[in-house]
Amino acid sequence: MSVHTAAAAPSVHAPLPVLGRDVTVPLVTGGEVTYAALDYAASAPALQRVWDDVAAYAPYYGSVHRGAGYLSQLSTDLFENARATVAAFLGCREDDEVVFTRSTTDSLNLLARALPAGCEVFVFETEHHAALLPWRDARVTCLDAPRTPRQAVETLERALAGRDAGAPALVCVTGASNVTGELWPVRELATAAHAHGARIVLDAAQLAPHHPVSVAELDVDWVALSGHKLYAPFGAGVLAGRADWLTGAEPYLAGGGASRSVSRRQDGGVDVEWHAGAARHEAGSPNVVGAYALASACRALTEAGFDTLVARERHLISRVRTGLAEVPEVRVLSLFGDEAPRVGVLSFVVEGWNSSHFAAALSAEYGIGVRDGLFCAHPLVRTLLGSAPRAQGECGAPEAAPGEKSLNAIRVSFGAGTPDEHVDRFVDAVRELVRDGAKWRYRTENGRCVPAV
């Protein structure tokens, strides 16, 4: 029996079909427009293909790893096949483990719990909090934001130089920034890490939806990603990579599925023999639908072809950049400079505007969904803005007086499902808002900027 739906051949220039592409939303100024979802970096819409695959599987849903029935066996096969599909998608080595988790945050916390004793962790201040914060039980060295990819490698080399190469160390680095979209020199950082006896984990939350990722070619030890950013919003994530630290660690969660054998001791205690491999860290009933959806997304992106997807995204990035460059009040945030290769994620500030106000107006008056704030990367955004933490101003009043640093930024992000029309509408809306101002009044409610009525 096959539960996969047939792949419709995608046109080179067409976006991949996603759910919600025809959803209309009301405008405060009256009428409705098709929603332009430009917050892919937070959560991307589900690919239609993923949805169809999940719907085709749904009647066959059954318990995983435990049941003797036909549907249990089918679900178990699909779950384990999903693991193999994800391993192939990520270019894993033969003996790598693929552990299903809930998300990138969960994956990195799992790895943090598997660090060997005395492990030192090196991380740039530019990381998303999911990559910056899980290492709280280790000695953490937080590195300055580099201003070029070369400087990133040099900074890491300097930090690692002189350490005892026999002692365990881990470098955690993003593949593509969730703030600037810029690509990081992962292969070079991996070489530097390994030269100094350290291991490296790649946070591919923003990279994998936009670019091919090969664990083997990048020579990283682990990779973490989230299904909901990879067009598969069904609650699954992945940590894939070397087995040894994972097998050497206590199970992430203790419970059924992680235990091979459990017995009661004479003295009343409980003895347990844990599984090795992925099962060790997947206690409890696994999220088979999430894993299946994630594998479906991997298949869909592979079949669409990353050459095509990357070319299309470059075209969208160029449209946005060209459009924003024509608005002198807009400053696009960047670590590595305008020409640095990036994915479809751009953050910017608008002179004289409160970013929250601007994003609220894009939503309420134009039906365009972007994000505002510090994007769970507070140190990076503050470095890019050159601002120190301070109280948020009232919405509607410019947060940054002329010459004053902005507190927050606006982020626009897009991907495989984004039509040209959405980015064009966005650029036109930015131009119009800057020129004419907001048409509506806004107020602050629970820290968010919302239309006054």
The single residue of 92, 119, 298, 376 carrying the catalytic annotation is 376
Give the C-alpha separation, 386 to 211, whole Å.
30
* Residue 101 contacts ligand PLP per CB under 6 A: no
* Residue 205 contacts ligand PLP per CB under 6 A: yes
Shorter beta-carbon distance to ligand PLP: residue 228 or 425:
228
Query: H or E stretch including 425?
Result: helix 420-436
Least distance in angstroms from the C-beta of 100 to ligand PLP: 14
Sole window of 50-58, 68-76, 201-209, 410-418 interacting with ligand PLP (rule: CB under 6 A) = 201-209
Sole window of 101-109, 160-168, 298-306, 435-443 interacting with ligand PLP (rule: CB under 6 A) = 101-109
Residue of the chain from 39, 53, 96, 203 that contacts ligand PLP (CB under 6 A): 203
Least distance in angstroms from the C-beta of 133 to ligand PLP: 11
* Residue 347 contacts ligand PLP per CB under 6 A: no
Q: In the annotation, is 376 catalytic?
A: yes
Q: Do residues 369 and 363 touch, judged by C-beta distance below 8 A?
A: yes
What 85-88 contacts at long range (C-beta under 8 Å, 24+ apart), as own/partner pairs, is 85/295, 85/298, 85/299, 86/238, 86/240, 86/291, 86/294, 86/295, 86/298, 87/240, 88/298
Residue of the chain from 103, 126, 180, 334 that contacts ligand PLP (CB under 6 A): 103
Sole window of 64-72, 98-106, 294-302, 361-369 interacting with ligand PLP (rule: CB under 6 A) = 98-106
Least distance in angstroms from the C-beta of 207 to ligand PLP: 8
* Residue 226 contacts ligand PLP per CB under 6 A: yes
Shorter beta-carbon distance to ligand PLP: residue 5 or 178:
178
The secondary structure of 284-310 as a DSSP string is SS--HHHHHHHHHHHHHHHHH-HHHHH
The secondary structure of 322-374 as a DSSP string is HHHHT-TTEEE--SS-TTS-B-SEEEEEETT--HHHHHHHHHHHH-EE-EEE-
Give the C-alpha separation, 368 to 434, whole Å.
15
Least distance in angstroms from the C-beta of 107 to ligand PLP: 8
Place of tokens 């902005």: 406
Shorter beta-carbon distance to ligand PLP: residue 172 or 309:
172
Shorter beta-carbon distance to ligand PLP: residue 138 or 205:
205
Give the C-alpha separation, 218 to 100, whole Å.
21
Please report, as residue ranges, which positions from 160 to 199 form the binding site for ligand PLP (by CB under 6 A): 174, 178
Binding flags for ligand PLP, 350-389, as an x/- string (CB under 6 A) = --------------------------x-------------
The number of C-alpha atoms within 13 Å of 402 and in the hemisphere containing its C-beta is: 1
Residue of the chain from 78, 82, 131, 201 that contacts ligand PLP (CB under 6 A): 131
Give the C-alpha separation, 385 to 409, whole Å.
8
Our separate counts of H helices and E strands in the chain read 13, 19
b/e sequence 335-360, b meaning 16+ C-beta within 10 Å: bbeeebebbbbbbbbbebbbbbbbbb
Shorter beta-carbon distance to ligand PLP: residue 104 or 363:
104
Least distance in angstroms from the C-beta of 13 to ligand PLP: 28
Shorter beta-carbon distance to ligand PLP: residue 131 or 293:
131
Residue 55 has which token pair? Answer: 């719907």
Give the C-alpha separation, 274 to 263, whole Å.
12
* Residue 105 contacts ligand PLP per CB under 6 A: yes
DSSP 10: P
Residue of the chain from 180, 206, 287, 363 that contacts ligand PLP (CB under 6 A): 206
The answer for residues whose C-beta is within 8 angstroms of residue 180's C-beta and 6 or more apart is 333, 334, 335, 336, 340, 342, 345, 346, 347, 384
Interface residue list for ligand PLP (CB under 6 A): 41, 103-105, 128, 130-131, 174, 178, 203, 205-206, 226, 228, 376
- Active site members: 376
